[in-house]
Amino acid sequence: MSEERGSGDSLLGGLVRAAVAYGTVAAANAGRRMAAALMGYLLAAVLFLVSLGFLTMSAHRALADGLGEIYASLIVGCFYLFAGLVLALVLQLKRR
């Protein structure tokens, strides 16, 4: 009751296994490249946020020395509100 395979069946099976192996390796390499790029962007975003915090603090202190605490807080807050509104407008116009 043993069944003999023809040479075409083993060749097709080998091609399928090779294609699956090639696809697996390609997917693993793409995943690794994507993870490395994501980590680079994440690091850049963290550095950007830290620098933005320091710039905000120094701008607030400089304005507070010249104008007072209340005006400094209002100016810095209005700047971020304006920047957020401009960003929302740009994103909305980009969608159209």
d(CA 26, CA 20): 10
CA distance 34 to 16: 27
3-state secondary structure of 75: helix
Please, what is the average pLDDT of the chain?
A: 88
Interacting residues of 63 by C-beta distance below 8 A, sequence separation 6+: 71, 72, 75, 76
Question: Residue 4 pLDDT > 60, yes or no?
Answer: no
User: Quick one: average pLDDT of 70-94?
Assistant: 93
pLDDT of residue 8: 59
Beta-carbon contacts of 71 under 8 Å, excluding residues fewer than 6 positions away, are 63
State the CB neighbour count (10 A cutoff) for residue 10. 10
Q: What is the end-to-end Cα distance of the chain in Å, rounded? A: 68
If you average pLDDT over residues 3-32, what whole number do you get? 82
